[in-house]
Structure formats: structure tokens, C-alpha cells
Structure 1
């Protein structure tokens, strides 16, 4: 069979050039839906979940109730995240999207964190939030990681790029509420302080002291605070 070399090379170049865009978020499904099922005997396994028999799927598989209820912000940081991902809403499996409600006590904080698999778009419903994100390590070592911040009021929208460290702080004296959409059925979350100082087992304090350029006793205090 005769092969068109130029056509073949052009096809390869096109596939390679589109690959980063194709995998920028969860892969597109090849069926209408694949409702997640906690049953290892199910015959189909997609995106880390077993699939429910389509003939057994019902409307409730695509339904979640409760985002109208405020979360409990009586904690050290004064915030609460109510997640609606594939673990709470099985119908999200393979659909590449999820949502959260975030409640903030006065001066409450959603601490610096990342979502390794999702971009986040935040909408403020109530209160005033101070939000921001930090860029990844710059190509030029002489440059510093850049911080982008903004004060948001009800109706304002802000986006946090995938994988970047970001935060939200309630800058007001009253409760605040925000909703967010994320570009993954299971975006994941890495809270920086918890991950660095509260891992199990603990990262060697000498490593952390060297990384943060502080005395070891400071690291010991931070580790103890996370335990």
C-alpha cells in the first residue's frame, strides 16, 4: 500500500499540536452518561468509577439537594466548603464538571490551596471577598512568582487557573457566600499548610527548615499545630 508521507506527517503534527488542548480537562465521554456505581461487579469501569447499567439509571442519579444550606464555619479558619463532585453526585462521572458552595464567617479564610485537575470559576453571592492566585515558577529564575488579587462583591466573578495556588478571604464583618464551578468531576484539593506541615508521615523538619529558611523550632511548632 502506498503511503502519502507528507499527509501522514501533517496528521501527526496536527495530533501533537492538539494534544495539550485535548487533555486540558477531563476527557470527553463517548456515551450519554456513565453514572458512577459503587459495585466492583459492574462490567464497565470509566474514569475511576464503575458504571451503572443505563437501563437502571433514574433522574435521582443526576440530582443533589442541599446547596441552599449554609456550612458550619465554626473551625480554625472560619470557612466551610460543601462539595458536589462525582462522590456526591454519581451522574457527574465522565462529564468533567463539579461545583462547590463556600461559606465564610466574618474574616473567614479558605486557605491557600490548589486543585490539581481543575480550573475554578467563583461567583460571589453575599459579602466581600479578597481573592487571589499565584503563578507557577517563572521561566526566568530572576522573576518572582506573581500574585493576582481582587476584591469581589455580590455578582462578581473570578477565575483561578488549573493547578495554581489560590485563596479567598472574607474581608467583611458579616458572613459571606460564594459558589464555584470546577472543570473536573473530581478536581482534588491540596491545602498547602496541611500538606506541608501535616503529612503522614511528617516531612523531615530539617528539610522544611532548609526550604523555608527558618529555625527548626519554628517548623516543629507548625507541625504540632497541624497535628
Structure 2
């Protein structure tokens, strides 16, 4: 227990710096290069690089070389959930200007590896309204499979039962608070990640250069019954 508390304390110290927290929030929207983090934070390359080294040393971010460029990402879904929790809690504070979300990211983005923003919330609400998922009462509540799940996920051409059977340390599904959408929820967990991957594979959504996500014309048609645009 003592070791766990020491690790938790070290993580909390890393998150106590506003610039590091801002960088981590950017990384929950998608992988970034140093240049992208410089642009997002408005600080110097040396400052960004120094903070990245510290974040890597504490296991909060990981790096992957892509040609001559190094790409950084949040190290795990657990860390992404911590960042999302802090961002969600901070939206009631007018002083948290670093938590501003660009309009494109507010509309649709990824939250680590699941779909967030207005579209993510609409899909979550649509699945609950259809009876495919149970409604959560609180942030981070477990979301369970509902009585109409098979029909709903068949319409999405996604076999949700294989996600239930997959052995993973992640929860199947939970209500991830969407801090840019007035404290509403999008679908997190293993099922949320699988759904996001599936929508990308079907080209119903596509990633943009600014790390936002766009719903394609085919996606708007395929998802209209969930987003209330039929």
C-alpha cells in the first residue's frame, strides 16, 4: 500500500504543473509530435521537451519513432481517465483557460481511444434510448448491456458479444464524462474503444490533421438513427 501511495503521489505531483496537464490533455485528443505540442501550448521547444522527459520517466506518456519524428501519446487508458476527470472537474472554473476546447474538437474527437465530443455524447444517448445500454447515474458508472443490444449493434454491424468475451483489464463500458459537453457522458471502456475502431474501419468517421474527428457523409447516414438526425 505504501508503494502505491508513493506512486500516486508522484503522479499527482506531475499533474500539478499547469503546462504538463495541458500537454497531457492535448495527448488525450490524439498522439502529438513536439511541434504540435509547442503549437498547442505556446511555449518553447526546450520547455516542452523537458516536460516530456519527466512525463516519460514517470510512465505517463510513451514515445514512438515515426521516421525522423517522435510521436508521443498517453501511456494507458487509466492515465487518460485521470486527465479526463481533472478536465471535467475544471470546467466549472473560469480560471482554467488551458482547458479550452477548439470548436472542431468540441464537435468530435477521440478521448484516448474512444469517441468523444458532441457526436460521442449523441451516440451514447442514442444507444441508451434504444435500450442497447443501461443509463448511468454518475460519472464513471459501469454501463451494462441492455435488452436491445443485439439489434442495435447489428445495425452498426458490430458484434458486441465478442467484446464481452475479450479478456481485458479494462472495464467493458462506463460513462466517461465529456467535459466539453456540459458534463454529459460518452461511452468509455473496452466497448467504447471497439466502437471507435469500428467506426473508423467503416470510414463512418475519419481523423483530421488537427486531431479532431469528422463524421463522413456515409457515417451521417449510418448513424442518423442514433444521433437523432433521421
Shorter chain as denominator, the TM-score bin is under 0.3
- TM-score between both structures, scaled by the size of structure 2: 0.24
Query: Relative to total residues, which structure has the larger helix share, 1 or 2?
Result: 2
Q: Larger Rg: 1 or 2?
A: 1
- TM-score between both structures, scaled by the size of structure 1: 0.24
Larger RCO (CA under 8 A, 6+ residues apart) = 1
Query: Relative to total residues, which structure has the larger strand share, 1 or 2?
Result: 1
